[in-house]
Amino acid sequence: MPRGRYSLHDPHDRTPLAEEHFQCAPGPSGWRYVSQVTSPAGDHRGSVDLSLDDLGRPIRLELHAGDWQVRGAALDGVTWVRTDPDGTHATEGTVRAHAFTGTSPAFLVATARLLRLTPFSAATRVRLVSFTDPVLAPRTVDQSWALVDSETHATDSGPLTVDEYQVTALDTGERHSVHLTGDVVLAAPGIELEELQSPPSRFG
């Protein structure tokens, strides 16, 4: 069960934005990721709780950011309920999309798990609903994912396979790389792995 800490920063000027203390693990029905998000000063800012089924579909999502909350799941595409800070109004949404995304590294692992790409195969298009900080506003985004490299490295705890994905935002054409090993993000724009207390889990 990997446990660790990511630092989140502005990908353009590297301004620190938050730290995400996480743990994740595969289970009999899929994979689960939970985390607590703090400000650079250590103040609580929110949390992430994401569960996937064995095919990589989101069967449960719960996000908190400040007083805002989102609960969602895969249903007729993806469906969610977003609650305002006062808790008096809730808005529902449904989009014909494959999954969710956002600032948490969990969503990169989840998308890679959903797509199950093979090295050097054609890029795959995916539609995602993104919840943007700090108010968890939903936005539909289209991306293209390709697995461009996969290398195995020898470590003290056994072989470690690192996958490099090229992700393209289809509305702007902007491209970036995401490096994953198992269910841990090693590096991505705005994300750095700072601590890892146990080896990543391997998906079957």
Closest CA to 79 of 98, 64, 65: 98
Res 157 pLDDT > 80? no
pLDDT in tens, 120-129: 889 999 999 9
Q: How many CB atoms lie within 10 A of CB 50?
A: 25
The pLDDT assigned to 177 comes to 97
Residue that is written with structure tokens 């080896």 in the block: 199
Structure tokens belonging to residue 6: 């990511």
The pLDDT assigned to 89 comes to 81
- Cα–Cα distances (Å) from 20 to 8, 16, 76, 123, 152, in that order, read 7, 12, 30, 30, 27
Q: How confident is the model at residue 159 (pLDDT cuts 50, 70, 90)?
A: confident
- Cα–Cα distances (Å) from 173 to 97, 162, 163, 168, in that order, read 20, 25, 22, 6
Mean pLDDT of the chain: 93
79-94 burial, b if ≥16 CB within 10 A, otherwise e? Answer: bbebbeeeeeeeeeee
Q: How confident is the model at residue 164 (pLDDT cuts 50, 70, 90)?
A: very high
The pLDDT assigned to 146 comes to 97
Structure tokens belonging to residue 70: 């989102």
pLDDT in tens, 31-49: 999 999 999 999 999 999 9
Residues 52-80 have a mean pLDDT of: 95
Residues 126-134 have a mean pLDDT of: 95
pLDDT in tens, 109-119: 999 999 999 98
- Structural domain spans, the chain: 3-198
The pLDDT assigned to 176 comes to 96
Q: How far is CA 21 from the centre of its chain?
A: 13
Pairing of strands 124-132, 99-102: parallel
